[in-house]
Structure 1
Amino acid sequence: MTRTAYLDCIKPSVLFVLILLAALLRALPGSAAGTETLTVAGGCFWCVESDFETVPGVIGAVSGYTGGTTANPSYKDVTKGGTGHYEAVQITFDPSKVSRDTLLDMFFRSVDPTDAGGQFCDRGDSYRTAIFVSNMGEKALAEQAKADAQSALGQTVVTPILQETAFYPAETYHQDYYKGEKVVFTRFGPKRQKNAYKAYRKACGRDARVKQLWGTDAPFAGS
C-alpha cells in the first residue's frame, strides 16, 4: 500500500474522531471563554458573596482584596489599613443569562452608595464601596448604573469607578463563609459559620439600612 493510499484510509477515521470530540465538547458546561467577571466592593465581602451567588446566571463569587499596592495581602493587613485594598468580590457570570448592567444595578441597590466611610457597622477604607473596570465599555456601563442610582435616590452617590488592578483571593476560611458548617466562637457565643454570619449581618444593620434607602427595589435585603 502506498503512503497516499494509507493516508486516504485513515482520513475518515480521523474525521470521525474529530466529530466525536466536537460533540463531547458541546455537551460540556459552558467554558470560561463564555463567561465574564465583575469586581465590586460593597463592605463585608461575606455579604456581597452570599447575595450575588443567589442570582441566576452568576456562576460563582470569590471574596478577596483589590485596589491597593500591597502584594498578596492578608485579612489582617487589609483591615488594619495602609495597604489601600478594598474588601471585594469577583463575580463570574454568564452574560447570556444575566447582563453586566443588571448586576451593576443590583449592586448599587444592595449597598449604601452614599456612605464614604465604610458600610453599615464596618468602618474604614477597606469597607468602602467601589466598582472596578478593565476597559472603556465596562466603565461606561458602570457610570450609567451610578447615574441611575443617584437619580433614583436623589442623593449623591460616592461609590468610585476605579481601574481594575490585581485581585487577591482572601483566605480559604472567608470563602462561602455564609454557608459554612464549622463551629466558630463569636460575641454571640459558639455558632456554626452560617449562623454566625446571619447574626453578624442582622447586628450590623445591613438589610435595615438598604431597605431604608431602596425600599422594594433592594434585591437582597432580608436574605
Structure 2
Amino acid sequence: MLARWICAALTAALLAALIIASGSGSGAAAETKTAIFAGGCFWCMEAAFDEVDGVTDTTSGYAGGTAPNPTYGSHEGYKEAVKVTYAPAKVTYAELLDHYWRNIDPFDANGQFCDKGSAYQSVIFVGNDAEKALAEKTKQEIADRFKQTVATEVRPVTTFTPAEDYHQDYHTKNPIAYKYYKWGCGRAERLEQIWGKAHS
C-alpha cells in the first residue's frame, strides 16, 4: 500500500514538473521582439543579422511603402529591408543598432554600394520612443565621430511585407551567387574603408 502511494506521489510530482517546464518554455519562446532595418540589398542585411547571437529569425521584405502587395518587380515607395526577430535576454536593441551601422555606408544618400535608388536607401524603422531615441543617439554619435552628415533616416514602422520565397535565406541557398554579388557590389571593400575589419 505504501509503495503504491509513493508511486502515485512520484507520478504526480513528475507531471507537475513537466507542466511547469512546458509553461516556462513557452514563455521563453514568446519573449522575442522584432526590429526592421533597411540597408541596401536585403540579402546582405539578412546575412549580416543571421550571424548575431540572440537573433532567432530574419525575413527579407519591403518596408515603409503604402501601395498594396509590393513585389520585387514593383515596390515603388518601399525600401528593401530585413525584419529581425531577436531575444532581448541575449541581444539588446542597442547591440542590433551597432551591428546595423557597421554593415552599411551611413553617408550614402543615394543607396548602398552598387545599388542606387530610393529602394536601397538606409532607414532604421523604429517601433517606439525608446528605439527612436537610441537610433537618433547612435546616428548623432556617428556624425560626430566621422564629421560627416549621416544620410540614414529614422522613421516609424508602418508597413512590412515579406519578399518572395526565393529571396529568403538567399545567402545560404545560393552561396556562390551571393558571394559573387557581394564582392562585385563592392560592399566588403567599402565597409572596411569606413569601419575597418570589424564588420560582417
Q: How high is the TM-score relative to the length of structure 1?
A: 0.80
- Please give the alpha-carbon distance, in whole angstroms, between the structure 2 residues aligned to 1:27 and 1:91: 21
TM-fit CA distance, 1:17: 5.6
Identify the residue that residue 60 of structure 1 maps to in structure 2: 57
In terms of mean alpha carbon deviation, does 103-112 or 22-31 score higher?
A: 22-31
Q: Structure 1 runs of 4+ off > 3 angstroms? A: 13-20
Identify the residue that residue 131 of structure 1 maps to in structure 2: 124
User: 1:153 touches 1:214 (CA, 8 Å); kept in 2?
Assistant: no
1:21 is aligned to 2:19:
yes
162, 170, 173: which one aligns with 2:166? 173
Change (3 A) 1:15 1:70: farther
Identify the residue that residue 207 of structure 1 maps to in structure 2: 188
Identify the residue that residue 70 of structure 1 maps to in structure 2: 67
- Please give the alpha-carbon distance, in whole angstroms, between the structure 2 residues aligned to 1:110 and 1:100: 15
TM-fit CA distance, 1:213: 1.1
Q: Deviations over 1:4-47 (max 9, x none)?
A: xxxxxxxxx99986654222233468322x11111000000000
User: 1:52 touches 1:91 (CA, 8 Å); kept in 2?
Assistant: yes
How many residue pairs get aligned? The number is 190
Alignment root-mean-square deviation, CA: 1.9
Tell which has more relative contact order, 1 or 2 (C-alpha 8 A, sep 6+). Answer: 2
Q: Gaps (5+ residues) in structure 2?
A: 1-10
- Please give the alpha-carbon distance, in whole angstroms, between the structure 2 residues aligned to 1:20 and 1:214: 49
Identify the residue that residue 3 of structure 1 maps to in structure 2: none
Identify the residue that residue 91 of structure 2 maps to in structure 1: 98
- Please give the alpha-carbon distance, in whole angstroms, between the structure 2 residues aligned to 1:156 and 1:137: 23
- Please give the alpha-carbon distance, in whole angstroms, between the structure 2 residues aligned to 1:213 and 1:19: 53
- Please give the alpha-carbon distance, in whole angstroms, between the structure 1 residues aligned to 2:96 and 2:29: 21
Change (3 A) 1:29 1:136: closer
- Please give the alpha-carbon distance, in whole angstroms, between the structure 1 residues aligned to 2:17 and 2:127: 37
- Please give the alpha-carbon distance, in whole angstroms, between the structure 2 residues aligned to 1:111 and 1:153: 14
Identify the residue that residue 176 of structure 2 maps to in structure 1: 195
TM-fit CA distance, 1:96: 1.1
- Please give the alpha-carbon distance, in whole angstroms, between the structure 1 residues aligned to 2:88 and 2:22: 23
User: 2:191 touches 2:199 (CA, 8 Å); kept in 1?
Assistant: no
5, 27, 36: which one aligns with 1:39? 36
Change (3 A) 1:29 1:174: farther
In terms of mean alpha carbon deviation, does 199-208 or 144-153 score higher?
A: 144-153
TM-fit CA distance, 1:148: 1.7
Identify the residue that residue 164 of structure 1 maps to in structure 2: 157
Residue identity in the other structure for 2:19: L
TM-fit CA distance, 1:153: 2.1
